[in-house]
Structure 1
Amino acid sequence: MGIGTGVLLIVLGAVIEFAWTGNIPYVDDDVLGTILIIAGVLTVVLVIISNAQRSRTKNVQETRYRGQ
C-alpha cells in the first residue's frame, strides 16, 4: 500500500461521511466514513515513516580476495 491508497481511503471516507445521502442496511454511514478517513490517515503516516526509515539505511559491500 502506498500514499495513493491512503489518499483514496481518505477521499472515499469523506464522500461517504459528508456527501452521500444513501443508506446502507445495518451500517451507520457516518461511522463508516470516519473509519475510512482514519484508516487513510494511518496509511499515509505509516508509509511516510517506512520511507523515511528506508532512506536512512546503508548498504556496505565487502569484497574478499583469496591470496594465492
Structure 2
Amino acid sequence: MGIGGCIVLFALGAIMAFATDWHVNGVNLHLVGWILMAAGLLGLITYVNVFRRRRLVRSVESDEPVEERRYYE
C-alpha cells in the first residue's frame, strides 16, 4: 500500500467518522471510521520510514569509493 492508499483510507475513515449520520444495526460506523483513519495514518508512517531507510542505504552505498582492479596475463 503506497501513499495514495494510505491517504484514501484516512479520508474514507474521516468521512465515515465525521460526515455521516447513517445507522446500521450491529455496526458502529463512527468507530469503523476512526479505525480506518488509524490504519491510514499507521500505513503512512510505516511507508515513510521504509522509504527513508531505502534512501539512506542508497546514499551510503553510493558514497563508498569504487576500486577497480585489472589483471593482465
Name the TM-score, length of structure 1 as normaliser.
0.82
> Counting helix residues as a fraction of each chain, which structure ranks higher?
2
Question: Structure 1 residues 62, 24: closer, same or farther in 2, change over 3 A?
Answer: farther
Shift, 1:25, TM fit: 3.1
**Larger RCO (alpha carbons 8 Å, 6+ apart):** 1
The total of aligned residue pairs comes to 68
Question: Structure 1 residues 41, 66: closer, same or farther in 2, change over 3 A?
Answer: same
CA distance in 2, matches of 1:67, 1:24: 79
Shift, 1:43, TM fit: 0.7
Q: Which runs of 4+ in 1 moved over 4 A?
A: 59-67
Does the alignment pair 1:11 with 2:11?
yes
**Structure ID, larger Rg:** 2
Which residue of structure 2 aligns with residue 37 of structure 1? 37
- What aligned pairs does 1:1-68 form with structure 2 within 5 A after superposition? 1-57=1-57, 58=61, 67-68=72-73
Question: Structure 1 residues 33, 62: closer, same or farther in 2, change over 3 A?
Answer: farther
Shift, 1:24, TM fit: 2.8
Shift, 1:21, TM fit: 1.6
Unpaired runs of 5+ residues, structure 2, are: none
Larger displacement relative to structure 2 (28-37 or 15-24): 15-24
Unpaired runs of 5+ residues, structure 1, are: none
Name the TM-score, length of structure 2 as normaliser.
0.77
CA distance in 2, matches of 1:23, 1:62: 68
